[in-house]
Amino acid sequence: MVGWLGEAVGGLADLILPTPCAGCRARGDRQICAMCRARLDASRPHATTPTPAPPGMPACWALGGYEPPLRDLLLEYKERGRHTLATPLGDHLARVVATVAPGRAVLLVPVPATAAARRERFGDHMLRLARRAARRLGTAGQPAAVATVLRALPRQDSTTLDAAGRVRAARDAFEVPPGPASRLRGAVARGAAVVVVDDIVTTGATLAAVAVLLATHRVPVTGAAVLAATRRTGTRPVAAPRSDRSQPAV
């Protein structure tokens, strides 16, 4: 209820109050100005690999670098309560997911927020993005659903940790209840691709920990999709995964 009320109030404020562009702060009547929107639309999902990559790191694709305007859009959405940005950001996340698993039914596994983070941000920001991305993919003809199989456990703020510390913390940051794991295995057996989704990849510790945890429950991860990759990760252009079906335009 608290999360729903926070989203409603934030959305109403965005509609009534004049707000600057979330990407560049230019004044206008839209949450993202035409210039920032064009820059996002021109971005092409690319493979990104942390250097060094942690053990178990899945193949990962990102929409762009953690730099303006994408960085500022994420900060406005995640830290400053502009929840209506879930629509454009979720649509762009769908483009990345479609690159990871083109032409396949997909199950999006969002990296969950802790209970404390959900209270602070009035809801789970990645769950909101994943649901929007799944709807966008479905509209484009690619079956998609959100699988909330991960449970976040209380953990230390990773911003104070180095790469090795993040790996250690991430190993104990999540759990998978037996029931959801069983249902996820059934979907995979029927041909669905499992794609882990997050907002930002830095060291890759979180994505690696999630992939390893799912593997222990016999759930293979096809890849990971994120919106932004920090500069400490290396990027390389790669061809999209091959598929017998054409990739929908999302």
Instruction: Quote the CA–CA distance of 111 and 99 in Å, as a whole number.
Output: 19
Instruction: Quote the CA–CA distance of 169 and 191 in Å, as a whole number.
Output: 32
Instruction: Report pLDDT for 132.
Output: 98
Instruction: Find the helix packing angle between 70-78 and 86-100, rounded to 10°.
Output: 120
**Each residue's pLDDT expressed in tens, for the chain with a length of 250 residues:** 444 445 445 555 555 556 789 999 887 667 899 999 999 999 999 999 999 999 999 999 999 999 999 999 999 999 888 999 999 999 999 999 999 999 999 999 999 988 888 888 778 999 999 999 999 999 999 999 999 999 988 766 666 667 677 777 777 789 998 788 888 999 999 999 999 999 999 999 999 999 999 999 999 999 999 999 997 655 444 444 544 443 444 5
Instruction: Report pLDDT for 119.
Output: 83
Instruction: Report pLDDT for 2.
Output: 44
CB 202 within 8 A of CB 74: no
CA atoms within 13 A on the CB side of 80: 15
State if pTM tops 0.85: no
Measured at the CA of 160, the angle between CA 56 and CA 90, to 5 degrees, comes to 60
Amino acid type, 112? P
Report the chain's C-alpha Rg in angstroms: 17
Q: Between the CA of residue 225 and those of 14, 56, 158, what are the distances in Å?
A: 28, 15, 20
